[in-house]
């Protein structure tokens, strides 16, 4: 499914993406997140409560094979994706909140992911299929070291960090395009012939994250702009991180490829669904701004006596 060359290239690209993610974060972001806790708490719970529970529920409902179930759960337990801020920009979301959420979810991944994986993957483990939590933690450390390096670079040079941040975000898209160009033609027949459960789950995880993230935020009285941000941060998981964890934690390549299948499908579909969702969010945001501008103009005209109540 993944050739040795593709595996090596993916690992190198993943480290670079994680470095770019670190360049978008700073200690200031963590402090800002603490000062405005409500949106961050909602986003954090959406990321680490809703998504793993959703993946586990779908895996159980469809009675997915153990390797597939573990693969989709690993994706769901990852922090928000490296490209989520890019989609938030186009959706006119709250970029400051997006970065704060990325800071918190990435910073707590080393603690949250092993605990979540130990809990949710246990029912799917078998004699020949064990999730080695120690190996997962070592994989996370290997991926988070470049994040720390990126944070340090931003502390030393905002200009260089900005360039690396943009490069890392673009590389996140390139990884997916690379998979589409090199991997999809070889595996297109397998994807078409796949059980509908894995296709539905790979698509449904992202869409479910968007819906849950948005409506939970609305139910708690957050602004629509913040709701859009939480929605995208929840649905867009860090696919490259999931690839790294799977490739580094499972030495048996045959098993690793089986577990990798849902992560690859999710990453392929999330780019398309995120683009569609972002398009509609942007249209709604423009209408909101149009109504806001009209209200401001009307209030100004009333204050000057040009309009009467």
Q: Which residue has the higher pLDDT, 2 or 147?
A: 147
- Spatial neighbors of 170 by CB under 8 A, at least 6 apart, are none
CA distance 187 to 103: 35
pLDDT of 57: 95
CA distance 114 to 251: 18
Between the alpha carbon of residue 46 and those of residues 57, 65, 114, 139, 234, the distances in Å are: 15, 26, 17, 24, 6
The mean predicted confidence, pLDDT, of the chain is: 80
Please, what CATH class does the domain formed by 4-284 belong to?
Answer: mainly alpha
The band of 290, judged by pLDDT with boundaries at 50, 70 and 90, is low
The predicted-structure confidence for 48-79, as pLDDT tens digits, reads as follows 999 999 999 999 999 998 999 999 999 999 98
- Token reading at 272: 């398309």
Provide Rg for the chain, Cα atoms: 20
Helical H segments across the chain, by residue range: 4-23, 27-35, 37-45, 51-61, 66-77, 84-90, 95-107, 109-120, 133-156, 158-178, 184-192, 196-219, 224-235, 239-249, 253-303
Burial 277-301 (b: 16+ CB within 10 A, else e): bbeebbeebeeeeeeeeeeeeeeee
The mean-pLDDT minimum among 8-12, 273-277, 301-305 falls in 301-305
pLDDT of 104: 82
The predicted-structure confidence for 150-187, as pLDDT tens digits, reads as follows 878 787 787 777 777 677 666 666 766 776 677 666 66
Q: Are 202 and 262 in contact (CB under 8 A)?
A: yes
Q: 134 pLDDT exceeds 70?
A: yes
Q: 221 pLDDT exceeds 80?
A: yes
pLDDT of 88: 82
Q: 30 pLDDT exceeds 70?
A: no
Q: 113 pLDDT exceeds 60?
A: yes
pLDDT of 121: 93
Over residues 87-105, the mean pLDDT reads: 81
Does the CA dihedral 259-5-172-100 come out positive or negative? positive
Q: 211 pLDDT exceeds 50?
A: yes
Q: Are 176 and 239 in contact (CB under 8 A)?
A: yes
pLDDT of 250: 86
CA distance 191 to 261: 9
Over residues 124-144, the mean pLDDT reads: 81
Instruction: List the Cα angle 126/80/182 in 5-degree steps.
Output: 70
pLDDT of 300: 47
DSSP-based three-state secondary structure for 217: helix
pLDDT of 74: 94
pLDDT of 190: 65
pTM for the model stands at 0.81
- Spatial neighbors of 259 by CB under 8 A, at least 6 apart, are 67, 68, 70, 71, 74, 246, 250
User: Which range has highest mean pLDDT (14-18, 77-81, 121-125, 243-247)?
Assistant: 121-125
DSSP string, 79-136: -B-TTHHHHHHHTT--HHHHHHHHHHHHHTHHHHHHHHHHHHSGGG-BTTB---HHHH
Q: Where do the domains of the chain lie?
A: 4-284
């Amino acid at each position: 499914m993944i050739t040795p060359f593709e595996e090596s290239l993916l690992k190198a690209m993943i480290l670079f993406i994680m470095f770019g993610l670190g360049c978008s974060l700073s200690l200031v972001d963590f402090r800002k997140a603490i000062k405005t806790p409500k949106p961050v708490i909602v986003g954090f719970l959406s990321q680490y409560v809703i998504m793993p529970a959703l993946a586990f529920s779908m895996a159980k409902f469809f009675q997915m094979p153990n390797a597939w179930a573990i693969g989709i759960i690993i994706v769901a337990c990852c922090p928000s994706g490296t490209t989520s801020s890019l989609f938030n920009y186009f959706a006119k979301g709250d970029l400051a909140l997006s970065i704060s959420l990325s800071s918190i979810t990435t910073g707590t991944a080393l603690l949250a992911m092993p605990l979540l994986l130990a809990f949710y993957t246990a029912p799917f483990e078998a004699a020949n299929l064990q999730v080695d939590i120690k190996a997962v933690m070592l994989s996370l450390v290997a991926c988070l070291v470049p994040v720390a390096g990126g944070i340090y670079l931003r502390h030393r040079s905002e200009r260089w960090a900005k360039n690396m941040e943009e490069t890392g975000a673009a590389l996140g898209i390139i990884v997916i395009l690379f998979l589409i160009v090199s991997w999809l033609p070889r595996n297109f027949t397998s994807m078409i012939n796949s059980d509908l459960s894995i296709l539905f789950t790979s698509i449904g995880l992202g869409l479910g994250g968007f819906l849950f993230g948005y409506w939970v935020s609305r139910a708690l009285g957050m602004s629509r702009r913040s709701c859009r941000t939480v929605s995208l941060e929840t649905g867009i998981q860090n696919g490259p991180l999931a690839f790294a964890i799977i490739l580094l934690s499972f030495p048996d390549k045959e098993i690793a490829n089986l577990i990798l299948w849902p992560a690859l499908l999710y990453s392929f579909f999330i780019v398309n669904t995120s683009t569609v969702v972002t398009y509609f969010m942007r249209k709604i945001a423009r209408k909101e701004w149009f109504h806001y501008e009209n209200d401001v103009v009307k209030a100004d005209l009333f204050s000057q006596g040009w309009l009467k109540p």
